[in-house]
Amino acid sequence: GAVVSQHPSWVICKSGTSVKIECRSLDFQATTMFWYRQFPKQSLMLMATSNEGSKATYEQGVEKDKFLINHASLTLSTLTVTSAHPEDSSFYICSARAVAGTGELFFGEGSRLTVL
Amino acid sequence: AQSVAQPEDQVNVAEGNPLTVKCTYSVSGNPYLFWYVQYPNRGLQFLLKYITGDNLVKGSYGFEAEFNKSQTSFHLKKPSALVSDSALYFCAVSADREPRTALIFGKGTTLSVSS
């Protein structure tokens, strides 16, 4: 099946620094990727829709300047958490729907961000 | 707007017994429904989906789900639970199958299977 790779899987950083998380579709092209955030024992909250070659669409309440999303190619989207603070600590999951087929959503393994 | 409700935070069953994890949805138009499972500190694994066709959908690891349009439900079931089925289960819905449309997830239900 289709594979979505996410890197890094675990990152610890100091408060005030920026962290970049990559999401790659390894064997299919994804014009659209999605970024979710998950708090412990809670559901996945959609943060933004990443569109290849254009600006991301953010959900209400998500700070665009805090969570920078770039979708540079049909197989790569990046999420940069800028000037990270402890409250940004979370599990970030990316996903992509294959252009063809039944619309199944493929997920990365997630990236756990811990801000000290 | 589309939404998904998983009314149970936790479901406890004994190994070998049947299990049901409940899900109801709200969407305008035809729903596209999914079940995913998540193990600790891992991403989501796809279990099954309903797009169209038979209301009873069979998926991975012996799971199945029944689409009930009149009750707007899509409950996940398994005839005989295993301890290894213990995990967090998410129901999700999309209003269409377009690649640009995200899935909206329920809050999740923790399944605990005791030996």
Copy the structure tokens of residue A82: 């800028």
Q: Which residues pair with B12 in a beta bridge?
A: B112
Cβ–Cβ below 8 Å for A110 and B42: yes
Q: pLDDT tens digits, residue range A9-35? A: 999 999 999 999 999 998 888 888 999
Q: pLDDT tens digits, residue range A60-85? A: 999 999 999 998 888 999 999 999 99
Query: Tokens 């994804």 sit at which residue?
Result: A30
A52: nearest Cα among B99, B32, B97, B93: B99
Burial of residue B114, with CB atoms counted within 10 A of its CB: 0-12 exposed, 13-18 middle, 19 or more buried:
exposed
Q: Which pLDDT does position B102 carry in this prediction?
A: 84
Quick one: pLDDT band at residue A1, thresholds 50, 70, 90? low
Cβ–Cβ below 8 Å for B41 and A112: yes
Considering only CB atoms, B94 lies closest to which of A51, A98, A103, namely: A103
Q: Can you tell me the distance from the alpha carbon of B98 to that of A100, in angstroms, rounded to the nearest whole number?
A: 9
How many Å lie between the alpha carbon of B18 and the closest alpha carbon of chain A? 24
Which chain B residues have a beta carbon less than 8 Å from that of A91? 41
Asked whether the CA dihedral A80, A62, A106, A31 is positive or negative, the reply is: negative
Q: CB count, 10 Å around CB of B68?
A: 12
Buried b (16+ CB within 10 A) or exposed e, A9-46: eebebeeeeebebbbbbeebebbbbbbbbbeeeebbbb
Q: Choose from B33, B44, B49, B60 for mutation: most chain A CBs within 10 A.
A: B44
Q: Which pLDDT does position A74 carry in this prediction?
A: 87
Q: Which pLDDT does position A72 carry in this prediction?
A: 84
Q: Can you tell me the distance from the alpha carbon of B102 to that of A111, in angstroms, rounded to the nearest whole number?
A: 19
Splitting chain B (115 residues) into consecutive groups of 10 residues, what average pLDDT does each group show? Answer: 91 97 92 91 87 90 95 97 96 77 90 96
Q: Can you tell me the distance from the alpha carbon of A78 to that of B90, in angstroms, rounded to the nearest whole number?
A: 25
Burial of residue A100, with CB atoms counted within 10 A of its CB: 0-12 exposed, 13-18 middle, 19 or more buried:
exposed
Q: Choose from B6, B51, B52, B105 for mutation: most chain A CBs within 10 A.
A: B105
Q: Are β-strands B109-114 and B10-14 bridged in parallel, bridged antiparallel, or unpaired?
A: parallel
- Quote the distance between the C-alpha of residue B72 and its chain's center: 13
Q: Which pLDDT does position A20 carry in this prediction?
A: 97
Q: Can you tell me the distance from the alpha carbon of A2 to that of B45, in angstroms, rounded to the nearest whole number?
A: 12
Which chain B residues have a beta carbon less than 8 Å from that of A37? none
Cβ–Cβ below 8 Å for B102 and A46: yes
- Residue with more model confidence, B100 or A45: A45
Which chain B residues have a beta carbon less than 8 Å from that of A34? 102-103
Cβ-defined contacts of A53-56 (< 8 Å, 24+): none
Q: pLDDT tens digits, residue range A91-107? A: 999 998 766 655 567 89
pLDDT beyond 90 at A116:
yes
Cβ–Cβ below 8 Å for A93 and B36: no
Average pLDDT, chain A: 89
Considering only CB atoms, A34 lies closest to which of B46, B51, B102, namely: B102
